[in-house]
Amino acid sequence: MAPATPHTKVAIIGSGPAAHTAAIYLSRAELKPTLYEGMLAGGTAAGGQLTTTTEVENYPGFPNGISGPDLMDSMRAQSEKFGTDIITETITKLDLKSRPFRLWREYEDGDGDAPAHTADAVIIATGANARRLDLPGEETYWQNGISACAVCDGAVPIFRNKPLVVIGGGDSAAEEALFLTKYGSKVTVLVRKDFLRASKAMQNRLLSHEKVEVKFNHEAVEVLGENKPRGLMTNLKIKNNKTGEEQVLNANGLFYAVGHDPATGLVKGQLDLDEEGYLLTKPGTSYTSIEGVFAAGDVQDKRYRQAITSAGSGCIAALEAEKYLAEREGESPEQQLEQSGAKKGDINGADNVPEYKTNPLL
Ligand SMILES: Cc1cc2nc3c(=O)[nH]c(=O)nc-3n(C[C@H](O)[C@H](O)[C@H](O)COP(=O)(O)OP(=O)(O)OC[C@H]3O[C@@H](n4cnc5c(N)ncnc54)[C@H](O)[C@@H]3O)c2cc1C
């Protein structure tokens, strides 16, 4: 006889600050959450984006800073200490139409495969990945001059009073460039097109700033720097994409502001997403478009994308999931389904169009 599918009250998918904060709250509330931390999910190690950085200097409680991997190891240990069941697997398929919800893991997600878990509530905390440009030299100088987050890294000493470059033409690029003017001696903004996509107000602020030079029709070609272990970037080769003319800039910092990819492939077609693929939540809450499914962290936050804001939203998701479970206690799966307005269905179906009612809380 096939073993019964294990059931959990709350399944958390993800392993960054949002997932672990939710796990800490839920395990302390004795709900014994199950956390799927991923096995190189989306190419990132369990622990999320902070495993790819060195010092984190803006997470409260660490006046001397803490390395990103150490911070995430501590969060994981805290989740485990209070009883979170952490599973090092990636969830690749979800059925949010049934009650309880059903989760499948990687390599065991075929049509005939039994789910890895069922859950009364699910918290999606799968994060987002900053887009990279795969420039020559990028791998060598990543975090040794190149960053995808000016707010996170802009204040570190290697950028102080140094020439910096931002790539991007949208609001994020403009915000990052203006933020960096506090630290750098000069900030050059490379814009691929001959116009900025940023709002008029941001454009005005950017173009009138004495430390900023915007180079339209320019692209980065190669990152150059010190040729030694952990050497820093010193220059950036750029090209005018109209004339083909190349130039080497002095640049001790290069900040990518070319967008993020939220990890929402798992729930596409089941939960409401915005036009950029971020999970939509009711403002100020973790409620998604399906009752019992909550979202936290960068996967639903395209504005702040910080470890502390992710942790904060993980706390909100945990408290809201706890409330949801308390209110549904004693209800049968059929009653829960009826309450939610969801229709039973098979997500393996070709036309996987959600038919369920929107969360009445929205
Ligand atoms: C290089 C770098 C430096 C940064 N520095 C700072 C800083 O100094 N200070 C700061 O506040 N912020 C910093 N940030 C931003 C910060 O890392 C993020 O805001 C934060 O990590 C987002 O947390 P999260 O919980 O949403 O998930 P993430 O950290 O994005 O982690 C989510 C993780 O969940 C796992 N996962 C995804 N899908 C699945 C799945 N289907 N099944 C199972 N597991 C899955 C993966 O491991 C994924 O990485 C930095 C980001 C980067 C990239």
pLDDT tens-place string over residues 256-313: 999 899 999 999 999 999 999 999 999 999 999 999 999 999 999 998 999 999 999 9
Most confident of the following: 171-175, 198-202, 236-240, 346-350? 236-240
pLDDT tens column, 169-208: 998 899 999 999 999 999 999 999 999 999 999 999 999 9
Residue 357 lies in a domain: no
Provide CB contacts within 8 A for 229, sequence distance 6+: none
Domain-terminating residue out of 201, 221, 256 = 256
- The answer to whether 328 touches 48, Cβ cutoff 8 Å, is no
How far does residue 144's CA lie from ligand 1's centre (Å)?
A: 19
From 149, 171, 261, 272, the catalytic residue: 149
CATH number, domain at 300?
3.50.50.60
Domain-terminating residue out of 256, 279, 297 = 256
The answer to whether residue 315 is catalytic is no
Task: Please indicate, yes or no, whether residues 234 and 275 belong to a single structural domain of this protein.
Answer: no
* 224 touches ligand 1 (CB under 6 Å): no
Task: Please indicate, yes or no, whether residues 117 and 141 belong to a single structural domain of this protein.
Answer: no
User: How many Å separate Cα 233 from the centre of its chain?
Assistant: 26
Residue 186 lies in a domain: yes
Report pLDDT for 338: 75
- Which residue's alpha carbon is nearest to atom 50 within ligand 1? 50
Task: Please indicate, yes or no, whether residues 267 and 233 belong to a single structural domain of this protein.
Answer: no
Residue 361 lies in a domain: no
Interval 142-155 mean pLDDT: 91
Look at the chain and report how many structural domains it folds into: 2
How far does residue 342's CA lie from ligand 1's centre (Å)?
A: 31
* 180 touches ligand 1 (CB under 6 Å): no
* 356 touches ligand 1 (CB under 6 Å): no
Domain-terminating residue out of 216, 233, 256 = 256
Residue 360 lies in a domain: no
Residue 2 lies in a domain: no
Query: In a mutational test of the pocket of ligand 1, which residue from 59, 76, 152 has the highest number of ligand atoms less than 8 Å from its CB?
Result: 152
The yes-or-no verdict on residue 322 having pLDDT over 90 is: yes
- Which residue's alpha carbon is nearest to atom 14 within ligand 1? 306
Task: Please indicate, yes or no, whether residues 111 and 17 belong to a single structural domain of this protein.
Answer: yes
User: How many Å separate Cα 226 from the centre of its chain?
Assistant: 31
Indicate which atom in ligand 1 lies nearest the CA of residue 311. Answer: 25
Task: Please indicate, yes or no, whether residues 71 and 39 belong to a single structural domain of this protein.
Answer: yes
* 53 touches ligand 1 (CB under 6 Å): yes
How far does residue 259's CA lie from ligand 1's centre (Å)?
A: 15
* 317 touches ligand 1 (CB under 6 Å): no
Task: Please indicate, yes or no, whether residues 137 and 79 belong to a single structural domain of this protein.
Answer: no
Using CA atoms, how far residue 321 sits from 11, 176, 317, in Å, is 10, 35, 6
The yes-or-no verdict on residue 360 having pLDDT over 70 is: no
- Which residue's alpha carbon is nearest to atom 15 within ligand 1? 306
The residue range of the domain holding 209 is 132-256
Task: Annotate 310-349 with b (16+ C-beta within 10 A) or e (fewer).
Answer: bbbbbbbbbbbbbebbeebeeeeeeebbeebebeebebee
- CA dihedral (68, 69, 72, 76) in degrees, to 10, reads -170
User: Mean pLDDT for the chain?
Assistant: 91
- Which residue's alpha carbon is nearest to atom 43 within ligand 1? 38
The answer to whether residue 149 is catalytic is yes
**Terminal-to-terminal C-alpha distance of the chain:** 43
Task: Please indicate, yes or no, whether residues 155 and 252 belong to a single structural domain of this protein.
Answer: yes
From 85, 120, 152, 301, the catalytic residue: 152
* 46 touches ligand 1 (CB under 6 Å): yes
Report pLDDT for 343: 43
Task: Please indicate, yes or no, whether residues 276 and 207 belong to a single structural domain of this protein.
Answer: no
The yes-or-no verdict on residue 347 having pLDDT over 70 is: no
Task: Please indicate, yes or no, whether residues 123 and 186 belong to a single structural domain of this protein.
Answer: no
Dihedral sign, CA of 276, 277, 280, 284?
negative
Residue 358 lies in a domain: no
Task: Please indicate, yes or no, whether residues 139 and 51 belong to a single structural domain of this protein.
Answer: no
Interval 59-78 mean pLDDT: 97
How far does residue 306's CA lie from ligand 1's centre (Å)?
A: 9
The yes-or-no verdict on residue 348 having pLDDT over 60 is: no
Task: Please indicate, yes or no, whether residues 185 and 136 belong to a single structural domain of this protein.
Answer: yes
Q: Please give the share of the chain, as a percent, with pLDDT higher than 90.
A: 81
The answer to whether residue 261 is catalytic is no
How far does residue 127's CA lie from ligand 1's centre (Å)?
A: 5
In this structure, what are the phi and psi dihedrals at residue 297, rounded to the nearest 5 degrees?
90, -165
Task: Please indicate, yes or no, whether residues 171 and 71 belong to a single structural domain of this protein.
Answer: no
Interval 66-74 mean pLDDT: 96
Report pLDDT for 341: 55
10 vs 175: CA distance, rounded Å: 37
Q: Minimum mean pLDDT among 44-48, 69-73, 297-301, 319-323: which range?
A: 44-48
From 85, 95, 120, 153, the catalytic residue: 153
